[in-house]
């Protein structure tokens, strides 16, 4: 699953989680983090994800066959939404860059230079995934790579929010954090099934 970033326009959850959570970590600790050198994510803006849903529904409603035989199903029917790919180290670096540029960092109690530290999986699980080691391992330490082949080929999906939007999101998230507009914590999203 990719990082879904940006602010959506829907009625319910309109925010991504990964970039705000990493931004908050960087600001709190004064340094970036990584578990290993290969942990990565694909990324896509929420507006572009929503476009896939619209295109999919249109395809089903407008085709005479309602997509049966045209749209694959089961394992072959998963439509990925990747636009770009990044590493946890790169995300941490971007968070550090904007925090230093805006004067949020360094503080008296934090490193004076931009620093990315290798951290233990258990510590990240406690702090970012409600203690769920399994979630932390798959999410924060894993290697994930997808391509949006089906969405482009069958639906004509063309993402609009690309590298510039991705880069801008780090500043947007820092501003939102400073203004207190990121009230939902990661733990609240996944800790319901917390393993002790």
pLDDT of residue 180: 82
pLDDT of residue 192: 39
Q: Which residues contact 21 (CB under 8 A, 6 or more apart)?
A: 128, 186
Residue-by-residue pLDDT tens, the chain, 196 positions = 899 999 888 877 777 889 999 999 999 999 999 999 999 999 999 999 999 999 999 999 999 999 999 999 999 999 999 999 999 999 999 999 999 999 999 999 999 999 999 999 999 999 999 999 999 999 999 888 999 999 999 999 999 999 999 999 999 999 998 888 876 444 444 443 444 4
Instruction: Report d(CA 61, CA 64) in Å as an integer.
Output: 8
Query: Model pTM?
Result: 0.87
pLDDT of residue 183: 64
pLDDT of residue 90: 98
| Structural domains present in the chain | 3-193 (3.90.25.10)
Question: How many alpha carbons lie under 13 Å from residue 139 in its C-beta half-sphere?
Answer: 20
């Amino acid at each position: 699953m990719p990082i879904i970033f940006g602010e959506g326009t829907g009625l319910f959850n309109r925010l991504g989680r990964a970039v705000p959570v990493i931004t908050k970590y960087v600001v709190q600790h004064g340094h970036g983090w990584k578990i290993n050198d290969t942990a990565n994510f694909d990324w896509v803006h929420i507006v572009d994800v929503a476009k896939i849903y619209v295109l999919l529904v249109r395809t089903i409603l407008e085709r005479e066959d309602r997509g049966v035989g045209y749209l694959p199903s089961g394992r072959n029917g998963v439509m990925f939404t990747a636009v770009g790919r990044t590493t946890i180290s790169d995300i941490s670096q971007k968070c550090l860059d904007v925090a230093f540029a805006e004067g949020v960092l360094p503080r008296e109690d934090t490193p004076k230079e931009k620093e990315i530290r290798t951290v233990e999986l258990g510590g990240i699980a406690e702090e970012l995934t409600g203690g769920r080691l399994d979630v932390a391992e798959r999410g924060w330490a894993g290697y994930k790579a997808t391509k949006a082949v089906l969405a482009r080929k069958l639906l004509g999906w063309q993402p609009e929010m690309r590298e510039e939007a991705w880069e801008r999101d780090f500043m947007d998230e820092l501003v939102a954090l400073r203004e207190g507009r990121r009230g939902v914590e990661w733990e609240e999203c996944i800790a319901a099934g917390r393993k002790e």
